Amino acid sequence: MIDILFFGRVADRLGKRRMAMVLPEEGLNLLTLRLRLFDGDADERLRMSVNQVVVTDDRPLRDGDEVAFFSVFSGG
Amino acid sequence: MSESVGANMEVRLLPAAFDPAAVHGDFLTRFGAFGAVAAFTGVVRETAKEAAVDYLYLDWYPGMTEASMQTIAEAAAKRFDIRALGIHHRCGEVRAGEPVVFVAAASTHRRAAFEAVDYMMDRLKSEAALWKREVGPQTDHWVEPTASDAEDLKRWSEK
């Protein structure tokens, strides 16, 4: 099972802030998950993190991972 | 890292309204004796691009947002000759006219204090894990860092 969180514009667009997913037996990579969730929408500004660390490259997801998708940061 | 910043680093993500004057006063009491204190307060504007703004909503990622603010504070402590620093940043709903961010630095000389505050603000704009939405009678949109925010940030990588 992995936790998937959404923040900012991305949470608005999907109409939800979190979901859980059971990892398929054959495994699941981060970019495959992204493709599934966002239907191939190639939004360059979509950012990702795994276990609260921002990542840009693909990687296999493991049970217990916390994955997040969000738009670019804007604080201050 | 400047010799004693470690213990004098105060980084807070605040879900409720705060009083920057009180935070500033406390900072001066504790660290004013170093000789130079610089501070910046950001307040939610009542208009953005000519549209009235009722409030900002700052979305945050519990854990990651605090860590991103801490990273910025530590980088400032390492880069500038400062003795104390503070970052207080709101999250959640912040009404127009309310403070959203307060940043302060104490040093033995003014230049380091000014620069550390400037640096922390530039990085908070684009690198703190926060997402800002502007809401008003005629507007409701997520704000992204502007080209000028990117230029501001670049100033620190060219040095």
CATH of the domain at A14: 3.10.20.30
């400037």: which residue's tokens?
B118
Q: Indicate the SS3 state at residue A57.
A: coil
- B100/A contact by beta carbon, under 8 A: yes
Q: Which of B63, B67, B124 sits opposite A75 (nearest CB)?
A: B124
Tell me the C-alpha distance between A65 and B3, whole Å.
Answer: 38
This prediction has a pTM of 0.93
- Distance, in Å, from the CA atom of B45 to the CA atom of B139, rounded to the nearest integer, reads 14
A11: closest CA of chain B, how far (Å): 10
Helix (H) or strand (E) holding B20: helix B20-31
- Does residue A42 form part of some domain? yes
Residue A17 lies in domain: 2-70
Q: Is residue A13 part of a domain?
A: yes
Q: What pLDDT does B1 receive?
A: 46
Interface contact B130, partner A, CB < 8 A = yes
Q: Within a domain: residue A64?
A: yes
Nearest-CB residue to A9 (from B61, B125, B142): B142
Instruction: Give residue limits of the domains in chain B.
Output: 6-154
Instruction: Tell me which fold the domain B6-154 belongs to.
Output: Aldehyde Oxidoreductase; domain 3 (3.90.1170)
pLDDT of residue B129: 97
Per residue in A46-63, pLDDT (tens digit) is 999 999 999 999 999 999
Evaluate if residue B3 carries a pLDDT over 70: no
% residues pLDDT > 90 (chain B): 83
Q: List pLDDT tens digits, range B33-55.
A: 999 999 999 999 999 888 899 99
Residue of B nearest to A49 (CA): B64
Domain-embedded: residue A53: yes
User: Taking an 8 Å Cβ-Cβ cutoff, which residues of chain A contact chain B?
Assistant: 5, 7-9, 11-12, 45, 49, 52, 68, 70-76
B63-121 pLDDT, tens digit per residue, is 999 999 999 999 999 999 999 999 999 999 999 999 999 999 999 999 999 999 999 99
Cβ contact (<8 Å) for B131 and A73? yes
Amino acid at B44: V
The amino acid occupying position B152 is D
Residue A4, strand partner residues: A19, A67
Mean pLDDT by 10 residues, chain A (76 residues): 96 93 95 88 82 95 97 91
The answer to whether residue A75 is domain-embedded is no
Task: Place B150 in a pLDDT band, splitting at 50, 70 and 90.
Answer: confident
Which pLDDT score is estimated for B158?
65
Q: How far apart are the first and last CA of chain B?
A: 18
Residues of chain B positioned with their CB less than 8 A from the CB of A73: 68, 126-131, 145
Q: Do the Cβ atoms of B131 and A5 come within 8 Å?
A: no
What is the reported pLDDT for A45? Answer: 79
Contact residues on chain B for A68, CB-CB shorter than 8 A: 61, 64
Domain-embedded: residue A76: no
pLDDT at position B49, please? 83
What pLDDT does residue B2 have?
A: 47
Closest partner residue to B130 (CB to CB) among A9, A45, A74 is A74
| pLDDT higher than 90, residue B7 | no
